[in-house]
Amino acid sequence: MNKTFVAVGYAALLLALIAAPHIGAYPIFMMKLFCFALFACSFNLLFGYTGMLSFGHAAFLGGAAYITGHSLKVWGVPPELGLLLGTAFGALLGLVMGYLAIKRQGIYFTMITLALAQMLYFVWLQAKFTGGEDGLQGVPRGKLLGMLDLSSDLTMYYVTLAIVAVAFLFIMRIVHSPFGHVLHGIKENEPRAISLGYDTNRFKLLVFVLSAALSGLAGALKTLVLGFATLTDVHWAMSGHAVLMTLVGGMGTMLGPLVGAVVVVAIENKVGEWGEWIASLTQIEWFRSLGESVTIVTGLIFVVCVLLFRRGIVGEAIALLQRKR
């Protein structure tokens, strides 16, 4: 019954997203939301289900964004190949970074991923093909499989939705597979998993590569949708965004990162309008500057969630339902 209820819920969500552009939703905003939701889900696979806190995921998102953008703009490859190149780059980079990072645990693992990502940030800053501080601009969308013209926002919307939906199902399959149960065991008690005969480093490296590849897909898709890639995509603050979206929504849950992405992206896009509205009501001019100080609002949301909703929005909702039962 529970599985049926969950399946119906996911089907209803998918139908709502299919209908969204026809009931007033802005396709560009929704596609940006999909990309960040996939980014948060890929991070949640590593942190929420394996207990490995990485601050280097911006390297996968931004690196894949640059590779895809360059391949589409300069090499003129079709969009499906550009997405594959970005995803493959994320996986390869994840293999190298993961091999170096999983030799340590806890805060040392986190600091190694952060240090490696920052090293790559300066590589992207100096590389000529990235455009430096100006970024990589004017990336064409092209035609998918030589048939679908992605210059249409509506066509691009449904392609993006299909890719993200398949990636979400893939993550769900990983989590509920025997491999996923081993990851959960590593998170709860790694010494016990080792005592049962599992090579935990091999499992951790594999999930790190999978998470990196999915983050790369999110970055590649983001470049295809928006038509540019910038240093913001590879900055460590982007990794902080993944942490924020996962914790706000509820780490270790399937829907948590999706909800967290909606909250964070909506705040970043609407906080300026909210500030104007609050300023008009309170006559306090300071609120008009909220659009320029969005980090204050997101930081406040993060503090409130940590203090009052430690399981995140979805985690607290699940706990509430269990208590009622």
In a domain, 306, yes or no: no
Contact 121, 244 (CB under 8 A): no
Asked if residue 218 is part of any domain, the answer here is yes
The pLDDT assigned to 285 comes to 53
For residue 15, being part of any structural domain is answered with: no
pLDDT attached to residue 266: 81
Tell whether 261 is covered by a domain.
no
Contact 140, 72 (CB under 8 A): yes
What is the signed CA dihedral for 136, 141, 142, 148, rounded to 10 degrees?
Answer: 170
Residue 18 lies in a domain: no
For residue 215, what are the domain limits? 26-252
Low-confidence ranges of the chain (pLDDT < 50): 1
- Residue 240 has a pLDDT of 87
Rounded to whole angstroms, the Cα distance separating 322 from 149 reads 47
Taking only the tens place, the pLDDT of each residue in 266-285 is: 877 766 555 555 556 565 55
The DSSP secondary structure of 104-148, one letter per residue, reads S-HHHHHHHHHHHHHHHHHHHHH-GGGTGGG-B------EETTTE
Q: What is the pLDDT of residue 167?
A: 95
Q: pTM, whole model, 2 decimals?
A: 0.91
Tokens of 282: 């309170």
Rg of the Cα atoms in the chain: 20
Residue 98 lies in a domain: yes
Report the number of distinct structural domains present in the chain: 1
Calpha distance 238→245 (Å, rounded)? 11
Q: Is residue 145 part of a domain?
A: yes
Q: What is the pLDDT of residues 53-103, one digit of tens each?
A: 999 999 999 999 999 999 999 898 999 999 999 999 999 999 999 999 998
Q: Per the domain annotation, does 273 fall within a domain? A: no
Contact 237, 61 (CB under 8 A): no
What pLDDT, on the 0 to 100 scale, is given for residue 1?
44
pLDDT of residue 106: 84
Distance CA 151, CA 148 (A): 9
pLDDT of amino acid 315: 82
